[in-house]
Chains A and B, each alone.
Chain A
Amino acid sequence: MTVRGEEPTTPACLRRVAARPVSLGLVGLSLALAPLMGQAAEPAGTGYLDRGLSIYPAGPGNGNERWSVGGLWQIAPMFTLSYERGLGTGFSVGAALETVVLYNQLGGGAQWAAQVGPFSLGVMAHLNAFYGVLGKAFIATTQFDATGWGLLFDPGVKGGLQITNDSWLTLQIEAYLSLYQSQKLGTLQISPNAPSYAGLGFTLVVEYAPKREGVIYYGASLYHTATNYPMWMNVEATPESEPFSSQKIWYLGVLAGYEF
């Protein structure tokens, strides 16, 4: 006896592939606020790395840059590549690419951070464009002939704490706003005409720099998003998965990588 649902004809990796790798490309609160913030400055705290960190709110520091490669695993692994550069007075900018070929996202943004006691606190936002394709090759059996694209805006806050001489812990909370989304189903293109709030993500990450040069990072995320965030295809990618609904769902992710 066979039971439908055990062997989805579309790879499970399509189910939900889009989440934010932490600290990748991040936007600052407002440049105008910077001069008013007395503690907005270069990363403080004993033992902070000369070239800074990508994820920790203080960032790489003035004039420094970090490239990172890694993976983000929710239902399936996704490759991530990011670049972060410090601008001074607590600001940094960056860009990030996430891809599993069938879902691709490129974004950029900035963040601003300040040291408050032992904590590094930051605000951020970034803008992402995404593009994805499902089922073009085997339309009947995968039940998909679909392309999707759109724009996402992700503001957030983060807080960091140095926990040992070579380890830093960062908690990041992001909101996900869908500014524009379009999909093409066969020959039919559909574009909902209103931006929408898509949910929240909470990410806890450890950055570990045993030799104070390269940095290993690893962490976990908890998401509460619309079932169709950022694209409907993420929840409908298998024959038996649930269709888009108005509900928001909870799910987990893990991430790891290396900062050069």
Chain B
Amino acid sequence: MSSDRRIFALGLASLASAACLSRQGAKPPEFPAGGLVALSKPPPNPWSLANVLEGVYDTSSRFGSGIVIHASQWGDVASGVRSSVAILAGDHFAYALMQPGCLVDTTTTPATTRLVLEGYWRYLDDPDPSPTTTGLIRLFVAPQAVVDYVCSAPAWPSDALPEDPRPPPGVQAALSGSTGAGENTPGDPLTVTWVKPRKSRNGLDGQQSFFVGVHHGGCQTTDNCGISENTPESAILATQLGGDYFEADTHLTADQVPVFFHLSLNPAVVQGVFCTGKVEDYTYAQLLANCRLRNGEVIPRVEDMLSYVLRRTKLPLYLDSKTSSVIVPVSQILNQLDQDLVPCNPPPPGSPTPWPPAGKQCLFPGSAPVWQRGVIGLPAAEDVSAYVQALNAGQLAPNQHCLIEEDASDVTSVPCVAWMPRYTRGPMTSTAQPLQQQGYFVGFWTINDPATIDAFLTNASPNGILTNYLGLLNQRFEAVGTPPPNSPYRTTMP
């Protein structure tokens, strides 16, 4: 082969490798042809399911006892809000994520409507999915009064409050069906039996005082759930799995574009032959050209992902600044989004028709405004200094909120609205409680071990815990948790 041909061949090889940046991570199992849900209609009101299914249940197999069933809503007003149902368990850090469908069963006379839930289950205590750690799940909801309540609900108008205002039927739901191994048709019987309603998470003032924190996604990239961390899709997954607030990591590219990414560009989380080193080494165009996340996603710009998540979920976002220089650009993005995203459910009194006006989009129904939901995280003293400097220089968004990780005294002096130290410092109740009594949020990062979660829930009375395992934390809160008496009301104040 001549030298020219060798160069040509190498060039082809490079192009081929760049073109192969598709999914590397495992994909969750799926029902062939979309299963029964593909033959069904979604519930007319996405909030109906929460009224009849939310609760603590026991299962006959696979998930153990005291599991949580969580019904979530996600999606944007323009293209439709959808609902999902999740089983959240402590055993094996398990979860099941299912989509609902109202199915007309014509095999009976007369035809009956059935409410089917289909999806996949997963044990997260093994990061490598296999037929013993993941599979399909199909459940049917009973009794018929519950099915009729959900499937015969009036359609939810897109300008209505985020609720199904009808009282639920006076019977408890029961679920039965089966689970399977891997892609196999479900064949292992499963029944899910009501035990009790979920605990209140409200403080003495009736406002929510305990929150499940999402550690940069509903699932870590290395846990192989099919979705990479720090992505818009992982925020949807987080909502579906019972997350209440979302921690995401912000960097600044070489051409000053804020992006979401955790640490270094390494093969555990990214793919691409030339995708190595640090985000800061590349322009955003170079990142797009050279890098894909493990499941095929691009590294998202902060602007794009915030817009997506703020419109499709009600999650507040704690934006952890991985470099001090990202603070001002992120705050400016939040400021712009605060102007562009407006409440639509319902529209503000006296608002013009049509609503939203041209150039504006709707916030997720029932969610707080952007200035409340975008909290800038300040993990180190140098970030606090940079933030204060920018604040004094008028470079931050009006009403910008911040969160301190290290020195609690910074929370009141900056001021910020939250303190979230690492749990390895212990509960520090003598410092935490006075802050909580003044309406500040006090949480801990990042607790994944069940024994440690239990210890903090029972001894520290935190407003929030950041975790990789949302199902586990939700289940443990139901088992041993008590909401702190003080809600973090400062997070809702200008």
Q: Do A and B make up one complex?
A: yes
A residues within 8 Å of B by Cβ? 1-5, 134-135, 139-141, 143-146, 184-188, 190-193, 228, 232-233, 236, 239-240, 243-247
Contact B325 A243 (CB under 8 A): no
Q: Which residues of A contact B468 (CB under 8 A)?
A: 243, 245
Contact A185 B426 (CB under 8 A): yes
Contact B452 A190 (CB under 8 A): yes
Contact A144 B422 (CB under 8 A): yes
Can you give 7 A-B contacts (C-beta < 8 A)?
A: A4-B323, A4-B379, A4-B380, A190-B451, A228-B449, A236-B424, A243-B446
In the assembled complex, B41 has its CB within 8 A of some CB on chain A: no
Contact B127 A247 (CB under 8 A): yes
In the assembled complex, B324 has its CB within 8 A of some CB on chain A: yes
* B 87-110 to A, binary, CB cutoff 8 A, 1 in contact else 0: 000000100000000000000000
Contact B425 A2 (CB under 8 A): no
Contact B280 A1 (CB under 8 A): yes
B residues within 8 Å of A by Cβ? 93, 124-127, 215, 220, 222-223, 251-252, 263-264, 278, 280, 322-325, 379-382, 405-407, 421-429, 445-449, 451-452, 455-456, 459-460, 468
Q: Complex: how many Å from CA A240 to CA B424? A: 13
Closest chain B CB from A66 CB (angstroms): 39
Q: Complex: how many Å from CA A146 to CA B455? A: 15
Q: Which of B324, B381, B426, B445 interacts with A188 by CB under 8 Å?
A: B426
Contact A186 B323 (CB under 8 A): no
Interface-centre pick from B126, B324, B381, B448 (highest chain A CB count, 10 A): B448
Contact B382 A1 (CB under 8 A): no
Closest chain B CB from A190 CB (angstroms): 5
Closest chain B CB from A77 CB (angstroms): 24
Contact B422 A143 (CB under 8 A): yes
Q: Which of B264, B424, B455, B460 interacts with A144 by CB under 8 Å?
A: B424
Contact B125 A246 (CB under 8 A): yes
Q: Which of A185, A233, A246 interacts with B425 by CB under 8 Å?
A: A185
Q: Complex: how many Å from CA A246 to CA B427? A: 23
Q: Which residues of B contact A143 (CB under 8 A)?
A: 405-406, 421-422, 424-425
Contact B280 A139 (CB under 8 A): no
Closest chain B CB from A135 CB (angstroms): 7
Q: Complex: how many Å from CA A246 to CA B459? A: 24
10 interchain residue pairs of minimum CB distance = A186-B426, A185-B426, A143-B422, A243-B446, A246-B125, A192-B451, A247-B127, A190-B455, A145-B425, A144-B424
Q: Which residues of A contact B459 (CB under 8 A)?
A: 188
Contact B264 A5 (CB under 8 A): yes
Q: Complex: how many Å from CA A193 to CA B450? A: 11
Q: Which residues of A contact B223 (CB under 8 A)?
A: 245, 247
Contact B280 A3 (CB under 8 A): yes
Closest chain A CB from B6 CB (angstroms): 35
Would A146 and B424 be within 8 Å (CB), given that A5-B264, A243-B448, A246-B124 are in contact?
yes
Q: Report the number of A-B residue pairs with Cβ-Cβ less than 8 Å.
A: 104
Q: Complex: how many Å from CA A144 to CA B422? A: 8
SS class, residues of chain A in contact with chain B: loop
Closest chain A CB from B58 CB (angstroms): 22
Contact B448 A244 (CB under 8 A): yes
Q: Complex: how many Å from CA A236 to CA B468? A: 14
Q: Which residues of A contact B220 (CB under 8 A)?
A: 245
Output the nearest chain A residue to B408 by Cβ-Cβ distance.
A140
Closest chain B CB from A117 CB (angstroms): 38
Output the nearest chain A residue to B459 by Cβ-Cβ distance.
A188
Q: Which residues of A contact B127 (CB under 8 A)?
A: 245-247
Q: Complex: how many Å from CA A187 to CA B429? A: 9
Contact B428 A186 (CB under 8 A): yes
Q: Which residues of B contact A146 (CB under 8 A)?
A: 424-426
Contact B425 A144 (CB under 8 A): yes
Closest chain A CB from B240 CB (angstroms): 20
Would A3 and B448 be within 8 Å (CB), given that A185-B426, A239-B380 are in contact?
no
Q: Which residues of B contact A192 (CB under 8 A)?
A: 449, 451
Contact B455 A140 (CB under 8 A): no
Output the nearest chain B residue to A246 by Cβ-Cβ distance.
B125
Q: Which residues of A contact B424 (CB under 8 A)?
A: 134-135, 143-146, 185, 232-233, 236
Q: Which residues of A contact B264 (CB under 8 A)?
A: 5
Closest chain A CB from B379 CB (angstroms): 6
Output the nearest chain B residue to A192 by Cβ-Cβ distance.
B451
Closest chain A CB from B257 CB (angstroms): 13
Q: Complex: how many Å from CA A134 to CA B423? A: 13
Contact B126 A3 (CB under 8 A): no
Interface-centre pick from A3, A140, A146, A228 (highest chain B CB count, 10 A): A3
Contact B426 A145 (CB under 8 A): yes
Q: Which residues of B contact A145 (CB under 8 A)?
A: 424-426
Closest chain A CB from B214 CB (angstroms): 13
Contact A140 B407 (CB under 8 A): yes
Contact A139 B222 (CB under 8 A): no
Q: Complex: how many Å from CA A190 to CA B451? A: 7
Q: Which residues of B contact A191 (CB under 8 A)?
A: 451
Interface-centre pick from A144, A187, A190, A243 (highest chain B CB count, 10 A): A243
Would A188 and B460 be within 8 Å (CB), given that A3-B280, A5-B264 are in contact?
yes
Known A243-B447, A246-B93, A246-B127; 7 more pairs at CB < 8 Å: A5-B264, A140-B406, A143-B424, A186-B425, A232-B449, A236-B422, A245-B127
Closest chain A CB from B276 CB (angstroms): 15
Q: Complex: how many Å from CA A117 to CA B349? A: 91
Closest chain B CB from A193 CB (angstroms): 7
Output the nearest chain A residue to B447 by Cβ-Cβ distance.
A243
Contact A247 B222 (CB under 8 A): yes
Q: Which of B93, B322, B447 interacts with A4 by CB under 8 Å?
A: B322
Q: Complex: how many Å from CA A193 to CA B449? A: 12
Q: Complex: how many Å from CA A185 to CA B278? A: 33
Q: Which residues of B contact A4 (CB under 8 A)?
A: 322-323, 379-380
Q: Complex: how many Å from CA A48 to CA B222? A: 48
Q: Complex: how many Å from CA A187 to CA B426? A: 6
Q: Complex: how many Å from CA A239 to CA B455? A: 22
Q: Complex: how many Å from CA A185 to CA B252? A: 34
Q: Complex: how many Å from CA A144 to CA B423? A: 8
Contact B263 A5 (CB under 8 A): yes
Would A188 and B278 be within 8 Å (CB), given that A1-B252, A4-B379, A143-B422 are in contact?
no
Contact B455 A246 (CB under 8 A): no
Closest chain B CB from A136 CB (angstroms): 11
Q: Which residues of B contact A239 (CB under 8 A)?
A: 379-380, 422
Q: Complex: how many Å from CA A119 to CA B449? A: 43
